């Protein structure tokens, strides 16, 4: 057979294979979608699955069409719905940015407007400030950096500091400091580079490059003998923050006490939220967020370089959208759907980081990002660090949400509850349980300035078996005053269990807290 004959033979064989393949597909069901009498208005039978009926009943109302073309009334309804949905999604996904900026503004109201002006809770954080799930047991030192104004900025950390973290303007992790950071608790100089920095990186620093101009530095110091004095002294003498360009003559540090001060550091849950988010988007570099997220925000009018000025129709839709977004965030937290979010089988203790990943990735990214977990965390809390998800024996911290009783009911401030802390809690530094307000997600305001119990600071009654029973209610049970945290009639509450420098027993679950039980 000649070459040309061989090629013709292969072509015929290939053609027959294609015909057989098409026949097989039709026999498998492909023909069923086009067989039968012609659809009215067509020469052939058209699959119903690709057609649009003249009338469709939906949760947003009746949708009407002429031959697949929406009526003007239906189009207006659908655009309203689309803008509403994007408004809800903007709230759920814009929370990290709005929350961090609300924190910046809250501290600025106390006078911390430059990086060398630092708010320190030298007498601990009491229930006066509105601050998402703040801790009553460590000396917070919480500066903000402005890399656009100052350029590369140095943060000197003293030895002996607790776990610290730098987060960008979208509450994303930049670098850890202290025990979980590269200085390993020995102190050192950190250099935070702005997002547009392209110069040489000097030696002698732990260096990280941020994606944003504004960055929050969350630092903690531990109590000594149950008192904050040593940690306060450590920060005031050892913390230095200055532009790299002024390293030879850095500005003097100014420390501003945040203890016993009334201020708000929480984002709005009404229309103002979108204005807060616009402030961040307009200030930060365009590259801080990916085009997908920028596109979501710009769909409702939030875009860098443009004013946020929705018309009356849009403002009305966004006002409703933020109300639904706020309610959705609360539902995601209080009515958890993911079984993996709970620490133990048959328990209502929930993991501090529900996603189990500081980037909120599902199955190491195979499932994308757990958006509900991200929304839940930033609605309720602050600080993003991988240290909260890693197994760090004797370092860092671990958290658990206690927000429902043993039967799965929300906690009522007019009732009395008991929580058993078994013997030998797995924390080298300390453990604590703090009560919070469900409205503000801040410390519960009662006659007790510190609505908590802490192992270093508080002298509590210990049971014969070494465990401790904590009580929560409007009045203390007789003889249990030392173990009692006050709640408020007519209000709810929830709690956070903290373990600083956790031990193996926490990770292998050989130790676990009791459930929050209603006292009859």
| DSSP one-letter code for 383 | -
> CB of 112 within 8 A of CB of 103?
no
For 163-172, what is the mean pLDDT? Answer: 97
Q: Is 166 helix (H, G, I), strand (E, B) or coil?
A: strand
What length does the chain have? 520
For 469-477, what is the mean pLDDT? Answer: 98
Residues 6+ away with beta carbon under 8 Å from 386: 173, 176, 358
Backbone angles phi, psi at 430, to 5 degrees: -165, 165
Residue 456: the pLDDT is 92
Element (DSSP H or E) covering residue 138: none
Residue 29: the pLDDT is 46
Give the global pTM.
0.92
Residue 355: the pLDDT is 84
Please, which pLDDT band fits residue 17 given cuts at 50, 70 and 90?
A: low
Residue 26: the pLDDT is 44
Would the pLDDT of 8 be above 60?
no
Residue 475: the pLDDT is 98
For 311-329, what is the mean pLDDT? Answer: 98
d(CA 85, CA 321): 7
Would the pLDDT of 51 be above 90?
yes
d(CA 340, CA 354): 8
For 35-48, what is the mean pLDDT? Answer: 94
> CB of 449 within 8 A of CB of 273?
no
- DSSP codes of every residue in 462-500: --TTS-EEEEEESSPPTT-GGGEEE--TT-EEEEEEEEE
> CB of 241 within 8 A of CB of 152?
no
Tens-digit pLDDT profile for residues 59-69? 999 999 999 99
For 302-328, what is the mean pLDDT? Answer: 98
Q: Which of 29-38, 68-77, 256-265, 438-447 has the lowest mean pLDDT?
A: 29-38
Q: Is 472 helix (H, G, I), strand (E, B) or coil?
A: strand
pLDDT, greater one: 520 or 413: 413
List, edge to edge, every strand of the sheet that includes 468-473.
Answer: 484-486, 468-473, 417-421, 517-518
CA 25 to chain CA centroid, Å, is 49
Residue 520: the pLDDT is 82
CA 67, 71, 77, 80: dihedral to nearest 10 degrees? 100
CB neighbours of residue 392 within 10 Å: 18
Q: Give me the percent of the chain exceeding a pLDDT of 90.
A: 90
> CB of 367 within 8 A of CB of 356?
no
Residues 6+ away with beta carbon under 8 Å from 305: 282
d(CA 215, CA 155): 12
For 472-478, what is the mean pLDDT? Answer: 98
CB neighbours of residue 413 within 10 Å: 21
Residue 361: the pLDDT is 94
Tens-digit pLDDT profile for residues 389-412? 889 899 889 999 999 999 999 999
Residue 395: the pLDDT is 87
d(CA 443, CA 494): 10
Would the pLDDT of 501 be above 80?
yes
For 413-442, what is the mean pLDDT? Answer: 98
- Strand intervals (E) in 233-379: 240-243, 254-257, 349-351
Residue 388: the pLDDT is 87
Tens-digit pLDDT profile for residues 206-230? 999 999 999 999 999 999 999 999 9
Residue 7: the pLDDT is 45
Q: Give me the percent of the chain exceeding a pLDDT of 70.
A: 93
Domains and CATH numbers, the chain: 3-50 (no CATH), 75-101+266-334 (1.10.3360.10), 110-257 (2.60.40.1610), 336-518 (2.60.120.600)
Tens-digit pLDDT profile for residues 360-388? 999 989 999 999 999 999 999 999 999 98
Residue 458: the pLDDT is 96
CB-based burial of residue 398 (10 Å sphere; 0-12 exposed, 13-18 middle, 19+ buried)?
Answer: buried
Give the orientation angle of helix 371-380 with respect to helix 312-334, to 10 degrees: 90
| DSSP one-letter code for 357 | S
d(CA 206, CA 104): 24
For 326-355, what is the mean pLDDT? Answer: 95
């Amino acid at each position: 057979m000649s070459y040309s004959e061989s090629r013709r033979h292969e072509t015929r064989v290939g053609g027959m294979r294609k015909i057989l393949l098409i026949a097989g597909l039709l026999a498998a069901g492909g023909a069923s979608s086009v067989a039968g009498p012609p659809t009215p208005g067509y020469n052939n039978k058209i699959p119903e699955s690709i057609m649009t009926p003249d009338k469709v009943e939906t949760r947003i109302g009746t949708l009407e069409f002429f031959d697949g073309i929406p009526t003007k009334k239906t189009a207006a309804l659908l655009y309203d719905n689309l803008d509403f949905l994007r408004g809800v999604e903007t709230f759920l996904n814009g929370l990290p940015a709005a929350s961090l900026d609300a924190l910046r503004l809250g501290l600025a109201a106390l006078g911390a407007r430059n990086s060398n002006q630092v708010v320190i809770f030298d007498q601990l954080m009491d229930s006066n400030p509105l601050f998402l799930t703040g801790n009553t047991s460590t000396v917070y030192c919480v500066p903000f950096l402005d890399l656009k104004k100052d350029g590369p900025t140095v943060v000197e950390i003293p030895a002996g500091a607790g776990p610290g973290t730098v987060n960008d303007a979208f509450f994303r992790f930049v670098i850890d400091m202290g025990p979980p950071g590269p200085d390993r608790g020995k102190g050192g100089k950190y250099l935070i580079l702005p997002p547009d920095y392209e110069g040489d990186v000097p030696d002698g620093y732990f260096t990280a490059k941020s994606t944003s101009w504004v960055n929050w530095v969350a630092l903690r110091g531990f109590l000594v003998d149950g008192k904050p004095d040593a940690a306060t002294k450590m920060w005031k003498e050892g913390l230095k923050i200055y532009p790299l360009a002024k390293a030879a003559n850095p500005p003097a540090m100014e420390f501003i006490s945040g203890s016993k001060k009334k201020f708000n550091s929480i984002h709005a849950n009404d229309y103002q939220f979108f204005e807060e988010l616009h402030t961040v988007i307009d200030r930060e570099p365009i590259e801080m967020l990916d085009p997908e997220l920028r596109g979501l925000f710009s769909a409702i009018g939030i875009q860098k370089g443009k004013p946020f000025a929705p018309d009356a129709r849009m403002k009305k839709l966004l006002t409703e959208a933020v109300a639904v977004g706020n309610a959705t965030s609360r539902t995601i937290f209080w009515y958890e759907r993911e079984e993996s979010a709970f620490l133990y089988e048959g328990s209502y203790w929930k993991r501090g980081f529900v996603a189990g990943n500081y980037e909120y990735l599902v199955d190491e990214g195979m499932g994308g990002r757990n958006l509900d977990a991200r929304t839940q965390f930033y609605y309720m809390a602050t600080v993003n660090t991988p240290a909260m998800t890693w197994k760090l024996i004797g370092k860092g911290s671990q958290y658990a949400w206690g927000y429902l009783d043993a039967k799965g009911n929300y906690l009522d401030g007019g009732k009395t509850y008991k929580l058993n802390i078994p013997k030998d809690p797995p924390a080298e530094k300390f453990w604590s349980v703090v009560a919070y307000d469900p409205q503000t997600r801040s410390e519960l305001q009662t006659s007790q300035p510190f609505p908590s119990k802490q192992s270093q600071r508080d002298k509590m009654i210990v049971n014969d078996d070494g465990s401790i029973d904590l009580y929560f209610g409007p009045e203390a049970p007789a003889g249990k005053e030392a173990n009692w945290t006050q709640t408020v009639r007519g209000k709810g509450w929830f709690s956070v269990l903290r373990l600083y420098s956790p031990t193996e027993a926490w990770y292998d679950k050989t130790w676990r807290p009791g459930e929050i039980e209603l006292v009859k």
